[in-house]
Amino acid sequence: MLHMLMLENELESLGLEEIKEGSAHQISRLISEMERNVMEMRLVSINKIVPKLRRILRDICRDQNKEADLILECGDLEADKSVVEYVSEALLHIIRNAVDHGIETPEEREAAGKSRKGKIIFSAESTAGELRLSLSDDGTGLDEMKIRERARERGLFTRPEEEYDLQEIQELILSPGFTTNEQVTEYSGRGVGLDVVKNVLEDVGGNLYIHSEKGKGTTFTIVVPLSLATMECIRFRVGDCRFSVPARHVYRFLDLEKNRDNVENINGKDYILYEDRMVPLINLNRFYHLQAEEPEHPIVVYVKGNEKEGCIMVDYMYEQKRIVVKQLPPLFGLGFRKRTGISGCSIMGNGSVCAAIDTEILIGLYEKEDAYGSLQQQRTALHSGEK
């Protein structure tokens, strides 16, 4: 795939457009067809995970004198074998956490007006190149006060505590070493668990979402690409830096000049009216402190992930390509993706590095942080996006 991109780029630079559009194009189509065939051979059923989930659920319920049923809402979905292997490890951690922290004992459930036996629902669906898996329990839910207390003890608040909304508080349980259990058991209390899930998913370019209601239960949702081999991406340039976003997150391109009247600055951050709602308008040049000249006619790209949506201003668009996105090396340190919104990188046809953007994290950073402040760690990310 990479060599094909380099060949096309070289043919274009030499002015050999006929060869690029003729023989090279046919070779590219054959390679793509071979790739699809290989990927189909690697597909396995999501239901392959179910026996492991049943086994760990049975074991932990027996050890903790609890009762719970696993209810399946999977259908007959398939995904790349390597993806299934990654998510199965994450799901095992989540189901341990659901029983250990969420599901009550039969006596406690009866006292709370619930059935003696708890329920854990495993659901799966695929949309636009993504696999979405959820584990929901009908247990106690997350205790906001207890999470706040433990976060204070560990110094996890990086800004005034009152500024954190419920979703941010719940996501603190993903911090390394975080646990609300006072006693160490076989399954919890060591501070090793959901942070492992988060790291596993980041290794494959996925995300973890938490929704919980006290007394009613918690849902953990995993979103990962259907394949780890290649990804259909939209690539673009901002200044001298190259970026990419998953094509499945790109819905529309807008002309900024025609939408100037729809742009509004709210609390120091730019928003643009899209359909009937105001969504973040992110100028990557300013966000990453690239110090590049602003283009005369910037392009606005509307992107939408699973939970967030927004618009990104770019200078120039490259054609859509299926590319290999490599994860960033450990040299970048823990939390780099969360601090910068950069999840990996790829190599373009001319050999330059293209930084892969996690759209959900990027929009979240823009909404929560000082949008164009002196976030020095963001600038560091662009060393992987320069020529």
pLDDT digits (tens, 9 = 90+) for 288-335: 999 888 888 889 999 998 889 999 999 999 878 887 788 777 777 767
- Mean per-residue pLDDT for 343-352? 80
Last residue of a domain, one of 225, 245, 270: 225
Amino acid at 361: I
27 and 50 both lie in a single domain: no
Tokens standing for residue 238: 């901002």
199 and 117 both lie in a single domain: yes
Read off the DSSP letter of residue 126. Answer: E
Q: Which of 253, 42, 302, 246 has its CA nearest to residue 129?
A: 246
pLDDT band with cut points at 50, 70 and 90 for residue 385? very low
In order of 27, 29, 30, 114, the CA distances from 22 in angstroms are 9, 11, 13, 67
- Mean per-residue pLDDT for 63-91? 87
Lowest mean pLDDT among 28-32, 74-78, 110-114, 126-130: 28-32
The answer to whether 99 touches 181, Cβ cutoff 8 Å, is no
82 and 206 both lie in a single domain: yes
Per-residue pLDDT at 192 exceeds 60: no
- Mean per-residue pLDDT for 167-176? 86
Per-residue pLDDT at 197 exceeds 90: no
* CATH at residue 192: 3.30.565.10
Domains: count for the chain: 3
Provide the pLDDT for residue 35.
65
Which residues partner with 267 through β-bridges? none
Question: What is the CB neighbour count within 10 angstroms for residue 76?
Answer: 8
Gyration radius from the chain CA atoms: 23
34 and 183 both lie in a single domain: no
Provide the pLDDT for residue 200.
77
What are the pLDDT digits (tens) for 203-226? Answer: 777 888 899 998 899 999 998 887
pLDDT band with cut points at 50, 70 and 90 for residue 182? low
Per-residue pLDDT at 381 exceeds 70: no
Q: Is the dihedral of CA 382, 363, 92, 129 positive or negative?
A: negative
Lowest mean pLDDT among 240-254, 295-309, 333-347: 333-347
Provide the pLDDT for residue 297.
86
22 and 55 both lie in a single domain: no
215 and 188 both lie in a single domain: yes
Q: Which long-range contacts (CB under 8 A, 24 or more apart) does 254-259 make?
A: 254/299, 254/300, 254/301, 254/302, 254/311, 255/297, 255/299, 255/300, 256/297, 256/298, 256/299, 256/300, 256/313, 257/297, 259/300
7 and 89 both lie in a single domain: no
Last residue of a domain, one of 178, 201, 225: 225
Per-residue pLDDT at 262 exceeds 50: yes
126 and 218 both lie in a single domain: yes
Last residue of a domain, one of 171, 202, 225: 225
Per-residue pLDDT at 183 exceeds 60: no
What are the pLDDT digits (tens) for 158-167? Answer: 888 888 888 8
Domain that holds residue 144: 44-225
Provide the pLDDT for residue 374.
43
62 and 17 both lie in a single domain: no
Provide the pLDDT for residue 42.
65
The answer to whether 255 touches 300, Cβ cutoff 8 Å, is yes
Lowest mean pLDDT among 143-157, 265-279, 297-311, 370-384: 370-384
176 and 82 both lie in a single domain: yes
The answer to whether 343 touches 336, Cβ cutoff 8 Å, is no
Q: What is the per-residue burial (b if ≥16 Cβ within 10 Å, else e) of 143-182?
A: eeeebbebbeeeebbeeeeeebeeeebbbbbbbeebbebe
Per-residue pLDDT at 30 exceeds 80: no
252 and 337 both lie in a single domain: yes
162 and 287 both lie in a single domain: no
Q: Which of 11, 13, 36 has its CA nearest to residue 23?
A: 11
Mean pLDDT highest for which of 115-119, 265-269, 344-348, 366-370?
A: 115-119
Provide the pLDDT for residue 38.
61
pLDDT band with cut points at 50, 70 and 90 for residue 186? low
Residue with token string 């207390």? 149
- Mean per-residue pLDDT for 348-355? 81
Lowest mean pLDDT among 20-24, 350-354, 363-367: 20-24
Per-residue pLDDT at 386 exceeds 50: no
Provide the pLDDT for residue 221.
92
